[in-house]
């Protein structure tokens, strides 16, 4: 029986090598045929566009396959088809992966799973010990006075923030009082390129590039697009930059907020813009005001109060999923306008149109003063970062921690371990801010819950490293199956699924085993039960395999 298996494997490998040489020539012919097909499609589309130019109901409107907006009254479905075709680019690309590369990536992922899980459990064990210890040492103090006896100690302060400083944005002449922060958010309506791939065969991918208009908070360089013509983004349309402005001094009782603590505040509220500000901006940038420059309600809430510009539909497609075209009766094309709606100042290139590429909008938000709770180290009238000595922390956790401070077996192992250690770094500093008055126990519990969520995500990541590592290391199996004629795609997909299932069955007990050993090193009361569960699972699979193997031998 074993001899038959060996002969079958040798025949399989020989057939794969012969068919690979034949398929190389076929792939070259296919690539040539695909390029010729694409050329014919382009020629056909151009001739189709010429015929549409004469049949369009608007003689002044130019029809192009790359036109951003197009709409006809006679045949709306035709307009939609044209838009869908104009925003998609297709081409054939050779696959750049290889079996050897997949195996190397798989090996790296598999071995990276060990330090990922180990340092993750180490960080969780340390964080739990750290929070439990310093919760008992944290002192609750009153904000009315600074007690010198608490200098250098971990304290918790509750109070109400106040400031006499006025935050001003000189570019827009916007001022806010009794606020910690003023934030200016900027967005531009611009073209975005998305890449989509579909696997054709073992060596080729069909690649699609789609182009859509969307509001983005950073400029997208269109020169990197595959099809730049008709999808240009102009850097000159970016009018303002994002900016954060803080009040110089913010007090809560006798204490004051540090710069780090100001940045941790996040309770934003919108800032309304008055008509004089819009008039000043319009005069400065040669804009004209909309007929209804300030609209507080959205178009979905009150259609009767919406101005003719209808900015709330800007940047949103219609029910069919396509962007509507500008009105053909518009005589104000090219006139810039400005208005304020739903918290945004819109700088539009055209009047009475939906959003066009290059439109710009700005939104202001503020963080008003209010309740606050700060936990950290008291230092001369403020609360700074509390960071205990590292040597004391290690001794509190495990006396054998120095065993892990050695160098790895090679540079690659050391680099992987170092990266995993940085990612899974435990909580070792305390400088927490919560924008309401709560007890110290609540904040400590929130920090622990947040780290527990991260721990579970890293456990799942370690499991994926094991599973994908095994899957990629078995890539020669399902890659060879793709070379079979007629049924190659089916066999390749089936082999890929089986390899993924094998990776799953190996990753489950291995993940539990690594976690249990890590907890056995740091917390024996949890590590011992987990280790028993992992050994039971591994023993069960080993026993089942041995039993099946003996049963097959007994038949012969």
Position 412 scores a pLDDT of 67
Q: 483, 20 in Cβ contact below 8 A?
A: yes
List the chain domain ranges: 2-94, 100-146+408-555, 291-356
Q: What are phi and psi of 405, to 5 degrees?
A: -90, 5
Strand partners, 337: 288, 348
**Tokens linked to 68:** 């951003």
- Per the CB < 8 A criterion, the answer to whether 360 and 347 are in contact is yes
Helices (H) and strands (E) in the chain, counts: 11, 18
Q: How far apart are CA 167 and CA 366, in angstroms?
A: 10
**Quick one: residue 473, left, alpha or beta (phi over 0 = left, psi -120 to 50 = alpha)?**
alpha
Separation CA 80–CA 86 (nearest Å):
10
Instruction: Give per-residue pLDDT as tens, 234-283.
Output: 999 999 999 999 999 999 989 999 999 999 999 999 998 888 888 888 88
Structure tokens at 419: 């990266």
Q: Look at residue 468 in the predicted model and tell me its pLDDT.
A: 93
Distance CA 424, CA 445 (A): 19
How many of the other CB atoms lie within 10 Å of CB of 224? Answer: 8
Gap between the Cα atoms of 127 and 514, Å rounded: 19
- 128: nearest Cα among 445, 432, 398: 445
Would you say the pTM of this structure is higher than 0.75?
no
**Residues facing residue 162 across a β-bridge:** 251
Residue 3: the pLDDT is 41
CB 154 within 8 A of CB 377: yes
Note the Cα 25 to chain centre separation in Å. Answer: 41
pLDDT tens per residue, the chain (556 residues)? 444 444 344 344 444 443 443 444 343 334 334 444 444 444 444 444 444 333 333 333 333 333 333 333 333 322 222 233 345 565 555 554 577 888 889 999 999 999 999 999 999 999 999 999 999 999 999 998 888 898 989 999 999 999 999 999 999 999 999 999 999 999 999 999 998 887 776 667 788 889 999 999 999 999 989 888 889 999 999 999 999 999 999 999 899 999 999 999 999 999 988 888 888 888 887 887 876 677 654 433 333 333 333 433 444 334 333 333 333 333 344 568 888 888 899 998 887 667 889 999 999 999 999 999 999 999 988 999 998 875 455 545 554 444 444 455 566 677 888 888 888 888 989 999 999 999 999 999 999 999 999 999 999 999 999 999 999 888 887 777 767 777 667 777 788 888 889 999 999 989 988 888 888 888 776 767 777 777 787 777 777 767 766 666 665 5
């Amino acid at each position: 029986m074993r001899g038959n298996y060996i002969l079958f494997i040798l025949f399989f490998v020989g057939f794969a090598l012969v068919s690979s040489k034949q398929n190389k020539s076929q792939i070259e012919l296919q690539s040539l045929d695909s390029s010729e097909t694409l050329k014919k499609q382009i020629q056909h589309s151009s001739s189709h566009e010429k015929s549409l130019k004469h049949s369009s109901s608007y003689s002044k409107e130019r029809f192009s396959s790359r036109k951003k907006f197009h709409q006809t009254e006679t045949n709306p479905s035709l307009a939609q088809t044209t838009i869908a075709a104009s925003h998609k680019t297709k081409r054939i690309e050779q696959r750049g992966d290889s079996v050897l590369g997949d195996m190397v990536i798989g090996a790296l992922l598999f071995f990276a799973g060990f330090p990922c899980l180990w340092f993750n459990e180490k960080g969780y064990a340390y964080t739990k010990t750290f929070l439990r210890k310093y919760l008992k040492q944290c002192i609750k103090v009153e904000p009315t006075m600074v007690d010198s006896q608490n200098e250098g100690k971990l304290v918790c302060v509750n109070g109400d923030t106040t400031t006499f400083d006025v935050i001003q944005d000189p570019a827009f002449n916007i001022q806010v009082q009794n606020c910690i922060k003023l934030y200016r958010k900027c967005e531009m309506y611009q073209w975005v390129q998305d890449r989509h791939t579909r696997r054709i065969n073992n060596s080729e991918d069909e690649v699609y590039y789609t182009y859509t208009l969307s509001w983005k908070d950073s400029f997208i360089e269109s020169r990197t697009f595959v099809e730049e013509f008709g999808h240009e983004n102009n850097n000159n349309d970016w009018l303002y930059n994002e900016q954060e402005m803080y009040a110089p001094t913010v007090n809560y009782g006798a204490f004051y907020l540090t710069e780090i603590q100001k940045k941790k505040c996040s309770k934003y509220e919108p800032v309304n813009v008055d008509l004089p500000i819009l008039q000043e901006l319009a005069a400065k940038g040669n804009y004209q005001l909309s007929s209804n420059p300030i609209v507080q309600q959205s178009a979905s809430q009150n259609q009767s109060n919406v101005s003719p510009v209808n900015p709330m539909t800007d940047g949103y497609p219609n029910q069919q999923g396509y962007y509507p075209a500008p009105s053909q009766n518009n005589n104000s094309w090219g006139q810039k306008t400005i208005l304020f709606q739903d918290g945004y100042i819109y700088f539009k290139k055209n009047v009475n149109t939906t959003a066009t590429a290059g439109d710009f909008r700005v939104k202001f938000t503020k963080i008003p003063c209010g309740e606050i709770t700060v936990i950290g180290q008291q230092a001369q009238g403020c609360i700074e970062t509390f960071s205990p000595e590292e040597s004391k922390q290690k001794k509190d956790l495990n006396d054998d921690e120095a065993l892990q401070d050695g160098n790895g077996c090679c540079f690659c192992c050391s680099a992987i371990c170092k990266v995993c250690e940085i990612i899974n770094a435990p909580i070792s500093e305390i400088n927490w801010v919560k924008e309401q008055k709560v007890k110290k126990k609540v904040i400590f519990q929130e920090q622990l819950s947040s780290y527990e969520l991260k721990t579970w995500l890293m456990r799942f990541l370690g499991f994926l490293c094991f599973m994908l590592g095994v899957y990629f290391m078995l890539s020669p199996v399902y890659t060879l199956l793709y070379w079979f004629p007629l049924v190659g795609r089916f066999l390749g997909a089936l082999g890929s699924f089986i390899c993924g299932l094998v990776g799953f069955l190996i990753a489950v007990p291995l993940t539990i085993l690594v976690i249990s050993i890590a907890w056995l090193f740091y917390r024996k009361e949890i590590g011992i039960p987990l280790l028993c569960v992992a050994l039971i699972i591994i023993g069960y699979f080993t026993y089942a395999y041995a039993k099946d193997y003996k049963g097959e031998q007994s038949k012969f």
